[in-house]
A = this chain, B = another copy of it.
Amino acid sequence: MKIQQQDIAKQHEQLQQEHREAFAFQQLQLDKKDIDTDALIQKIGAFQVAIPSWALGTGGTRFGRFPGGGEPRSLEEKIEDVGMLHALNRASGAISLHIPWDIPKDAQAIKQLADSLDLRFDAVNSNTFQDQADQKLSYKFGSLQHVDKSVREQAIAHNIDVIKYGEALGSDAITVWLSDGSSFPGQLNFRRAFQNTYESLQEIYGALPEQWKMFVEYKAFEPNFYSMTVGDWGQSLLYANKLGDQAYTLVDLGHHLPNANIEQIVALLLMEGKLGGFHFNDSKYGDDDLTVGCIKPYQLFLIFNELIEGMDARGMDHTTDLGWMIDASHNVKDPLEDLLQSVEAILIAYAQALLVDRKALNEAQLSNDTVSCQEILQDAYRTDVRALVAEARHRNGGALQPLKLFRDLEVRNSLIRERGSKTVATGL
């Protein structure tokens, strides 16, 4: 199943009048505010979010999994799925692989396939939170933190392998997410767990190619329920600072204690030059891994507001200087539809945050005019930017309404016909 350029064109024909009206209105509003619409649209159009290979199939919880059909059965089919998303929205031009679920047998062929779909390979991800069938030693009690040096060595070797797979595909970063921690008071010596983890990370860091980054992801809880050995941004930053210039903190929206102020964390990490990447999703309770923007869209906007402010202050490029990825689990939605909704929500938040009148905000802040600060932020947030996002997509060759086109073309049915209704993609 492939999206054809003519399908996109056909939808454009149907919808363009309505789109033109809405876009014209937006443009008019922007003109009044002396905002350069074309520049804005260019920024929106340049923004790309990587799709993780494990999010292309139905996810599950420990209580069960309710698979759909037509899920990708191979790395090739996963890449094709991302290619299709990217064809639709022109904003999903990267894929993030997970080893060992996605070991490329023929890296050259895989790379060509991706190239043909205009995709690049984003950060590669290691997995030491599960035991694989052929694995010598178990990660039941951790991997990089493990009290047994031979387990640590096995986990280090795995991570170095992952880097090599990534190199072959043109990735330039590895994300290390550890489930290491403890479920019971007393189970770990916290200091030893930290030191072991640090030394293990040093070994992996030592194997990084020159231009590579290492992202040290943190998580407050789950699957360990008492402590996590990289449990919050403070711990991740400790590791990253000790490791060196190529190590960064990675923020996943769902990996915090209740009520954490994530936007402040983002701002401080940018201040320290140590924010490396971002995993998008949404949640109400924990690492719920829901569609981006489905629960707290205003928080997402506030985070983008800090990202833009902080990146601009350091002269960073919005598109390339941070790793942007979705990390979600699709338990009750079609995974591809879910991803289309997530990317849309990200672009909307990004566009709204671009609209923030930073000069006025700065002045209001400097005069402690809290009422105006809120007005300025909410003026941007309350703006209906959907026509701007659609226009950016259109100019890049994407569909005005990707989800609608996905449905109109009955993509899922085609995939089921091609792949069967009982396929199960690797992943969570």
Residues of A within 8 A of B (CB): 18, 21-22, 25, 28-29, 32, 59-64, 66, 129-131, 138-141, 147, 179, 182-192, 194-195, 220-223, 225-227, 231-235, 237-238, 257-261, 263-264, 267-268, 270-272, 283-286, 288, 290-291, 293-298, 302, 305-306, 309-310, 313, 331-334, 337-338, 341, 348, 361-362, 364-368, 370-371, 373-378, 381-384, 386, 403, 428
Contact = CB atoms under 8 A, between A and B. Distances in A.
B223 A63 contact: yes
Given A140-B66, A257-B258, A187 B365 contact: yes
A184 B337 contact: no
A370 B187 CA distance: 5
A61 B62 contact: yes
A66 B264 contact: no
A194 to B, nearest CB: 6
Contacts of A371: 333-334, 337-338, 341, 403
Given A66-B139, A286-B285, A337-B371, A234 B231 contact: no
A374 B225 contact: no
Select the residue from A291, A296, A371, A428 with max chain B CB neighbours within 10 A: A371
A66 B223 CA distance: 12
**Copies of the polypeptide in the assembly:** 4
B267 A332 contact: no
A337 B264 CA distance: 26
A332 B183 contact: yes
Contacts of A61: 62, 222-223
Contacts of A296: 296, 298
B370 A290 contact: no
A375 B258 CA distance: 27
B348 A64 contact: no
A293 to B, nearest CB: 8
Nearest to A229: B264
A365 to B, nearest CB: 5
B374 A294 contact: yes
A333 B370 contact: yes
A80 to B, nearest CB: 21
A183 B403 contact: no
A287 to B, nearest CB: 9
Nearest to A386: B382
A225 B290 contact: yes
B191 A271 contact: yes
Contact of A64 (B59, B129, B332): B129
A332 to B, nearest CB: 5
Nearest to A233: B234
Contacts of A184: 290-291, 294, 332-333, 370, 373-374
20 contacts: A18-B32, A21-B25, A22-B29, A64-B139, A66-B131, A185-B263, A185-B377, A186-B370, A186-B373, A186-B374, A186-B377, A190-B267, A194-B271, A220-B259, A225-B284, A225-B285, A235-B268, A296-B298, A338-B371, A382-B384
